[in-house]
Copies of this chain bind each other. A is one copy, B any other.
Amino acid sequence: MSRMAAKDRREELIAAAFRVMIREGVTKATTRAIVNEAKMPLGVFHYCFNSREELLQEVITRFTDSWTERVRKMSGTEGDLGSRVTKSLSAFWESVELSPGEHQVSYELTHYALRQAGFEELARRQYQHYLEAHQELLTEAAESTGIEWAVPIPVLARYLNSVLDGVTLTWLVDRNSEHSREILRLTGEQLLSLARERH
């Protein structure tokens, strides 16, 4: 194998682990499966990482960061509240149908973290960031369209996050795209009914 800095190898291993997880699930992402995917000898693994858990931790944090960033970019910048909400929800759903594996892995990682001693905080941080991203989305939408929400933003953000989580999970199981889209449309309407003129 050509010589490579440990830092660079870490990156490639993380990317390889991510691919394996999407293809075969988190539990199947063993040290051997990962180095095999990265086309590296087994010994590399524990030269770059102290443990498999350390890699998993890295995967989780990167996953969280990349997804929150993507949520932030879903914010539309023009049009009235209705079209902005619709556009955001459509963008979300597009990402789900485009890469279902990523979302499936996301759930698996959450449940893995909830069970793994010392990882609970990572799961909490994950959802904390999701909720904050949705809060920003709602806040910005309200401010730039001159309305205010009839419900506290943190609660509304959690409502939004929950619906998206639930509809995604259900879709991952039965792949009913038609009904899923209907729910997002319905959710959009419900959201609009909670907006009122700023007093």
Contact = CB atoms under 8 A, between A and B. Distances in A.
Interface of A: 24-25, 27-28, 104, 107-108, 110-111, 114-115, 123-124, 126-128, 131, 151-152, 154-155, 158-159, 161-167, 169-170, 172-174, 176, 179-180, 182-183, 186-187, 190, 193
A165 B183 CA distance: 14
Given A25-B115, A111-B111, A183 B170 contact: no
Nearest to A165: B166
A111 to B, nearest CB: 5
23 contacts: A27-B27, A104-B114, A107-B107, A108-B111, A110-B173, A124-B174, A126-B173, A127-B170, A127-B173, A127-B174, A151-B182, A155-B186, A158-B180, A159-B167, A159-B183, A159-B186, A162-B169, A162-B183, A163-B166, A165-B166, A165-B169, A166-B169, A190-B190
B179 A170 contact: no
Given A104-B111, A182-B155, A186-B155, A123 B162 contact: no
A110 B174 CA distance: 11
A180 B165 CA distance: 14
A132 to B, nearest CB: 12
Nearest to A126: B173
A76 B115 CA distance: 35
B128 A174 contact: yes
Contacts of A179: 154-155, 158
A127 to B, nearest CB: 5
Nearest to A162: B166
